[in-house]
Amino acid sequence: MNGRKKTNAKNSYAPVSNVELAPLHKKLCQYIRMEEAAYNETPLEPDTLMGHLERVAAYAVRLAVNEGVDPLRAELAALFHDAGKFHGGTYHEGNKPEEIRSIEVLKELAGENGQSREVVEDVSDAILQLYNDDCGKTPLSMVLFDADNLDKMGLLGIANYFIKSGLRGQGLTAEMITKLTVELTYARYAGRRFYTKTGRSLAVKKSLDTIRFIHDFLDVLREDCIFDTRIEHVQVSDVVLELVMLSSCHCGAPIHLQRIWTEEGVKCTQIHLEMGCRVCENRYKIKFCRPMFVV
């Protein structure tokens, strides 16, 4: 047991939709929790990544059924698409892309579970195509892409945003409020960021929840005299950003947008923003992937 605490190990996971995947799902859960625990250097076995994989699997099956894609392949692709994320307890270390490691895990575990070679190959291709702009997308990889992004949409997306901020040690701070810029900007473009018809209509519906929630949340903070914010629109290339800006600095002077620029990152074009006070040194910096338009 090496002192590791088992947390709800028996029933803590969402069931699979394709029952033949149940044994494979169980093995994957054990593997993912172990890798994530090693990465976090914690004796607790976290469910952050496994939870994401399961939610994406639920969306993938739903999209697949509506889009005429094999739901078993879709569920398998979703369950394994990030399986290599914390390989060996590290994150983005070495030069092997995490998708390659995800596929290795898939091949190893699916092989033991008796999944056919053809299925494993199709699923591997979909995982490789997921964020590779150089190759075309198959219907399976489009379903996977949309399912992965639906986990960041709507109230679920907001819940995940707060969890992620908390895991990084951030509470309800001015920085965290300012970074709602990213959520609001992504919500604005929900209709252009999804490949499938089903994914797109779900995303658009959910984006309204995101927009409503953020506006209500900012209203409450203003009414209760906690943070006073305003939303400004700024264009960078062909994207209009929804900047959530604090109205004033703690020194009393106004906060302004000071710098905005883009840089080519490894996975995306990054938008960089700097807001700040002209009187004191107070700065808020945000960097995020420019929303990727697929339609």
Site stretch for Zn ion (CB under 5 A), options 39-47, 61-69, 170-178, 249-257: 249-257
Question: Which pair of tokens denotes residue 193?
Answer: 């960021």
Figure out which of the listed residues 47, 82, 122, 146 binds Fe ion, where binding follows CB under 5 A: 82
249 part of the interface to Zn ion, by CB under 5 A: yes
We find the least distance from the C-beta atom of residue 271 to Zn ion, in angstroms, to be 24
282 binds, among Fe ion, Zn ion, none (CB under 5 to 8 A by kind): Zn ion
9 binds, among Zn ion, Fe ion, none (CB under 5 to 8 A by kind): none
We find the least distance from the C-beta atom of residue 151 to Fe ion, in angstroms, to be 7
The CA distances from residue 168 to 154, 161, 162, 171, 185, in Å, are 21, 11, 10, 9, 22
82 binds, among Fe ion, Zn ion, none (CB under 5 to 8 A by kind): Fe ion
Q: How far apart are CA 101 and CA 86, in angstroms?
A: 9
Measure the CA angle with vertex 120, ends 118 and 121; round to 5°: 65
Site stretch for Zn ion (CB under 5 A), options 59-67, 165-173, 175-183, 278-286: 278-286
We find the least distance from the C-beta atom of residue 260 to Fe ion, in angstroms, to be 28
Figure out which of the listed residues 122, 148, 183, 242 binds Fe ion, where binding follows CB under 5 A: 148
122 part of the interface to Fe ion, by CB under 5 A: no
We find the least distance from the C-beta atom of residue 56 to Fe ion, in angstroms, to be 6
100 binds, among Zn ion, Fe ion, none (CB under 5 to 8 A by kind): none
44 binds, among Zn ion, Fe ion, none (CB under 5 to 8 A by kind): none
In a 10 Å sphere around its CB, with 0-12 CB exposed, 13-18 middle and 19+ buried, how is residue 184 labelled?
buried
Figure out which of the listed residues 159, 280, 289, 295 binds Zn ion, where binding follows CB under 5 A: 280
Q: How far apart are CA 42 and CA 168, in angstroms?
A: 15
282 part of the interface to Zn ion, by CB under 5 A: yes
Question: Which pair of tokens denotes residue 7?
Answer: 């947390």
Figure out which of the listed residues 16, 202, 246, 277 binds Zn ion, where binding follows CB under 5 A: 277
Question: Binding-site residue total for Fe ion (CB under 5 A)?
Answer: 2
* Contact indicator for 201, 146 with CB cutoff of 8 Å: no
The CA distances from residue 138 to 80, 99, 150, in Å, are 17, 17, 18
277 binds, among Zn ion, Fe ion, none (CB under 5 to 8 A by kind): Zn ion
* Listed residue (239, 160, 126) closest to 193, CA to CA: 239
Strand 255-264 to 283-289 pairing: unpaired
36 part of the interface to Fe ion, by CB under 5 A: no
DSSP 50-79: HHHHHHHHHHHHHHHHHHT--HHHHHHHHH
Question: Which pair of tokens denotes residue 249?
Answer: 């600095």
We find the least distance from the C-beta atom of residue 287 to Zn ion, in angstroms, to be 22
Q: How far apart are CA 251 and CA 277, in angstroms?
A: 9
Segment 231 to 250, residues that bind Fe ion, using CB under 5 A: none
254: how many CB neighbours lie within 10 A of its CB?
13
Q: Where along the sequence are the contacts to Zn ion (CB under 5 A)?
A: 249, 251, 253, 277, 279-280, 282
Binding site for Fe ion (CB under 5 A): 82, 148
